[in-house]
A and B are shown apart, each in its own frame.
Chain A
Amino acid sequence: GDSVTQTEGQVALSEEDFLTIHCNYSASGYPALFWYVQYPGEGPQFLFRASRDKEKGSSRGFEATYDKGTTSFHLRKASVQESDSAVYYCALGDYNYAQGLTFGLGTRVSVFP
């Protein structure tokens, strides 16, 4: 079945550091890819999505580019702030994702002042 792999389980950074979270997927065709962010005690919040090869999604300074060749959708941010501390989830929806999204294991990002 479809799956999403996030390589980093936890990332610790200082403010103004560059953030990369790796996300690779396994699915047939052209799945839609998503990034969500979750703060403690809350539901996940949508960051952005992409559904075509080379399409770039971005929001709040975060960005990711859909790469079908490498089956990747890596999340990047040039300069993180303490308020970016949260858990980030990569997710996938296949052609009929009315049935729901498949989430990766999540990456806990801690940013220290």
Chain B
Amino acid sequence: AQTIHQWPVAEIKAVGSPLSLGCTIKGKSSPNLYWYWQATGGTLQQLFYSITVGQVESVVQLNLSASRPKDDQFILSTEKLLLSHSGFYLCAWMGTANERLFFGHGTKLSVL
């Protein structure tokens, strides 16, 4: 069975500090990977997607970047956090059959 693990579960960071969030998918070869962001009480806003290792496409610019260093790993990062980066970050994967998105449990980020 496939599993998706996001880390950390929660972060409290200062404005201007760097950030790195991670996501690992086990049990699925060459998944499509996605980052979504959710403001408190808000909808799911797609940030990035990746179809293959080393290739990442940006959907919306929020002063964030993403990388896919391995087939099963997706990283979200920034060198300087803004207050507006606070929220819930969700990693998701989709199999090659493109049937549906499977979401991780998310990372809650508070920027102070």
Contact = CB atoms under 8 A, between A and B. Distances in A.
B61 to A, nearest CB: 16
Contact of A98 (B45, B46, B94): B94
A97 B51 CA distance: 11
A98 B42 CA distance: 23
Contacts of B105: 42-43
B49 interface: yes
Interface residues of A, number: 21
Nearest to B33: A100
Contacts of A89: 43-44
B100 A49 contact: yes
Contact of A103 (B44, B49, B57, B102): B44
B103 A100 contact: no
A46 B102 contact: yes
Given A98-B51, A100-B34, A100-B49, A45 B103 contact: yes
Contacts of B32: 98
A101 B98 CA distance: 11
B44 A49 contact: no
B62 interface: no
Contacts of B100: 34, 46, 49
19 contacts: A34-B100, A41-B106, A43-B90, A43-B103, A43-B104, A44-B44, A44-B101, A44-B103, A46-B101, A89-B43, A97-B98, A98-B51, A98-B94, A98-B98, A99-B49, A99-B59, A100-B46, A100-B101, A101-B101
Interface of A: 34, 41-46, 49, 89, 91, 93, 97-106
Interface of B: 32, 34, 42-46, 49, 51, 57, 59, 90, 92, 94, 98-106, 108
